[in-house]
Amino acid sequence: MTSMAPLLVAARGGTPSHTPVWFMRQAGRSLPEYRALRQGTAMLDACMDPEMVCEITMQPVRRHGVDGAILFSDIVVPLKAAGVDLDIVAGTGPVVANPVRTIEDVRKLPELHAEQVQPVADAIGLLLKELPQQVALIGFAGAPFTLASYLVEGGPSKNHERTKALMHGNPELWHALLAKIADVTAAFLHAQLDAGVQAVQLFDSWAGALSERDYREFVLPHSKRVLETITTVPRIHFGVGTGELLPAMREAGADVVGVDWRIPLDVAVQRLEQAAPQLPKPVVQGNLDPALFFAGFDAVEREVRRIHAEGKAAAGHIFNLGHGVLPDTDPEIITRTVELIHSL
């Protein structure tokens, strides 16, 4: 019998042979081999090229020896594949040609059919042949709120003012919008699951912009509907600035709760346990500030040791950053960090 990948053992609250580690945005601009391969190919075209997706997903696995491979894609890929006119602009992020603001706009939003993301499924097929057995392949999608923010604002937003205006000014329209996005998100995740991903992460990157009350009323039911459809693999639920939302995000459906760098893991565990004493001890992921990689290895080592110790308060800890790898990060320090975590 073959043993289960350490990341999947930790995600289930078991005791793996070593602390598993991967990094959000590990596949991307911090790697020279990524930049070389991407030369001349637009981001969204790269996401629809199975060989390229496979190679970029493999790059950080080969270089850093991480325990998880995050599928190279983007949260807007399913929207684009379904027919929404949008692009990813370098240095800016997703830009939507016709922002969604009226009931007519919501009605016009297309559904996603699995064949529209067949190249993603093909890439997963290639990856399952190439990945070492101990490395878990993680699929992902954007959560309804974070995708809604891009669709409503038309691009990245600091204050999410149009999104919040719609949420509070026209709740009926808001819920219709989130329900439609939830269908797209679920369809994208199921296309990945059918192709064989071994865990999934729902990125609600901007949920931390909301109060807990608003999150519960306007977002949680939709994320919950997506996550409830996934019963076969561990589900990781992640956001930034979500210290106040962690119990609600677990309630939405999460086997693993993502934690940014703003609160320590033992505090996160305490909040999760107090909110739901009837549930099993929580599993957490994250916590290292991505900016720490610019502070030198001694500073990283101190933080890694602290986080590793505090992570013992959880039933399982998947080591990760509190958000994605920053583009100017030195890849060498990432590799050394993985070696350190594996040695603890």
User: Closest distance between ligand CP3 and the C-beta of residue 125, in Å?
Assistant: 18
Instruction: Between 202 and 313, name the residue whose CB sits nearer to ligand CP3.
Output: 202
63 included as an active-site residue: no
Q: Is 215 a catalytic residue?
A: no
Q: Which residue out of 67, 74, 183, 260 is catalytically annotated?
A: 74
Amino acid at site 79: L
User: Would residue 29 show up in a list of annotated catalytic residues for this protein?
Assistant: yes
Which residues lie near ligand CP3 (CB under 6 A)?
24-29, 38, 43, 70, 72-75, 88, 90-94, 140, 156, 203, 205, 324
The catalytic position among 67, 150, 215, 271 is 150
Q: Which of 192, 56, 190 is nearest to 130 (CA)?
A: 56
Pick the catalytic residue: 12, 38, 162, 216? 38
Question: Is the separation of the CB atoms in 235 and 202 below 8 Å?
Answer: yes
Identify the burial level of 67 via C-beta atoms within 10 angstroms of its C-beta, where 0-12 means exposed, 13-18 middle and 19 or more buried. Answer: buried
How many CB atoms are closer than 10 A to CB 305?
Answer: 13
**Shortest distance, CB of residue 312 to ligand CP3, whole angstroms?**
26
Whether 298 is a known active-site residue: answer no
- In the complex with ligand CP3, the residue whose CB is nearer, 92 or 102, is 92
Nearer to ligand CP3, 115 or 328 (CB): 328
Residue nearer to ligand CP3 on the CB measure, 25 or 306:
25
Residues 6+ apart with CB under 8 A from 247: 271, 272, 274, 275, 276
Is 35 among the catalytic positions?
no
End-to-end CA distance of the chain: 27
Ramachandran assignment for 316, one of left (phi > 0), alpha (psi -120 to 50 degrees), beta (any other): beta
Distance CA 34, CA 52 (A): 10
In the set 12, 25, 216, 306, the catalytic residue is 25
Q: How far is the CB of 20 from ligand CP3 (least distance, A)?
A: 16
Q: Give the residue numbers of the binding site for substrate.
A: 25-29, 74, 150, 205, 323
Q: Active-site positions?
A: 25, 29, 38, 74, 150
